Amino acid sequence: MLLCVTANHKTAPFDLLERLSRTPDDLAGSLSEGSKGAVVLATCNRFEAYVDVDGAADESDVARILNTVADRSGVPADTLTASSSVHSGARVVEHLFSVASGLESVVSGEGEIAGQVRRALTSARKHGTTSPELERLFQRASEAQRKVKNDTALGRAGRSLVRLALELADSRIADWSAARVLLVGTGAYAAVTLATLRERGAQDISVHSPSGRGAAFAAKHGIRALPKAEYARAAAHATIVITCTSAELPVLDAAILRAGRGPALTALPSPDDAAFDCPIPGRGSSTGAAPTQLIVDLGMPRNVAADVAEVEGIALLDLETIRLHAPLEELQATDAARSIVRAAAATFHEVGARESVTPAVVALRGHIFELLEAEIQRARRRGDDGGQVEQAMRHLAGVLLHTPTSRAHELAAQGRGSEFIAAVETLYGLSAEPVAERDAPDDAATA
């Protein structure tokens, strides 16, 4: 049975999610011990453990999952329990399909989560912790997400945390073409951020990579890479700094900004600069002066130290603040998307139910056709001129198998497939061995 333990922006405080985002890469391996497999999905707004347990799940399975996560993350088990919820069986399927489609995100319909779901499966494959059912679950989740994206206005809106952050920044920056932008980070989120900046007309964009990958990223995207020696000054003099790295420690703090400014503040833009307009919601210095520099922290864990907000002239916009300003869901589009998700989940269960009785159906048909071939050979030895007896026998076998095959699928759809399997074993003495997983890895899901 499938189990999902989730702590997300609806159930857990931001600080707890930040701690859970630091869980080690091999956590799925620990969770899969004693189970068929596990996949871990950790993003800036959610932590989810999907576990394929052996047999029917009970409270001991949930307790084991929570205790394992607590041990590996350092979050007390009682805190984790109070800030998480549990889905089991059929509820797991619709939940993941909703998550992958952006329906459970801070910004309804945001696009980044789809890639994060695919990467979670890729990571589990890499560590050898998937199971046939988890493979099928995550592959079908990606299919549901693509259908939501293609068939609903919610998907076409293309909203994301990056877009929301820059929409909030729009009220602060009057002229993006005149803004000096410093991007810190070179991962997938950085590429999305860069594309969104260019949509707004930003031209003066530099990139710095704490891990040393800035030059390659800059060459690929046609922007300027900053060496470490120039980082502090560039950060202090930028109109807007956007951080989006996976670093576990802050990559920007008050000391870096003050060092970059030097003894004078004359290099900073003033509130009258053409790039600036009115204030945005965010945290900043309490001096009463209008902020003259915007820092957007899209990192999880936080990329920007808290003391940056105390530096004069700084407005800090982090994920916690962005989440508070997320817009209301687009109700009509969301309803259409949820209908797609429910239909996809129903199909998943129907296919799974059919697969559960397939070994028994195959065994029964194989048994009947084995008897049929023996009788056909006997008829041929007796002189079946024209094959009329063979034709009649084959027709009869098909008629006889039609009803039990149809009944098997009906029982499976009702959750009673085990009754058909037991009947085949009792009446014919046939062992219905499970068939191998038919779904090959979806190459598109690992892109």
Q: Which residues are known catalytic residues?
A: 44
For the beta carbon of residue 26, count every other beta carbon within 10 angstroms: 13
Instruction: At 115, give phi and psi (nearest 5°).
Output: -65, -35
Residue 182 carries which side chain, given as an amino acid letter? L
Candidates 246, 180, 187, 177; CA nearest to 221 is 187
Cα dihedral sign, 215-219-221-224: positive
Q: Residues 6 or more apart from 174 whose CB is under 8 A from it?
A: 274, 275, 276, 277
Assess contact for 124 and 37: CB atoms under 8 A.
yes
Q: Which residues contact 258 (CB under 8 A, 6 or more apart)?
A: 236, 311
With beta carbons less than 8 A apart as the criterion, state whether 179 and 240 touch: yes
Of 333, 338, 320, 332, the residue nearest 106 (C-alpha): 320
Please count the other Cβ atoms lying within 10 Å of the Cβ belonging to residue 391: 12
* Distance between CA atoms of residues 270 and 278, nearest Å: 12
CB-neighbour burial class of residue 247 (10 A; exposed 0-12, middle 13-18, buried 19+): middle
The DSSP bridge pattern shows strands 314-318 and 283-284 to be antiparallel
Among residues 39, 36, 16, the alpha carbon closest in space to that of 27 is found at: 39
Residues 408 and 357: beta-carbon distance below 8 Å = yes
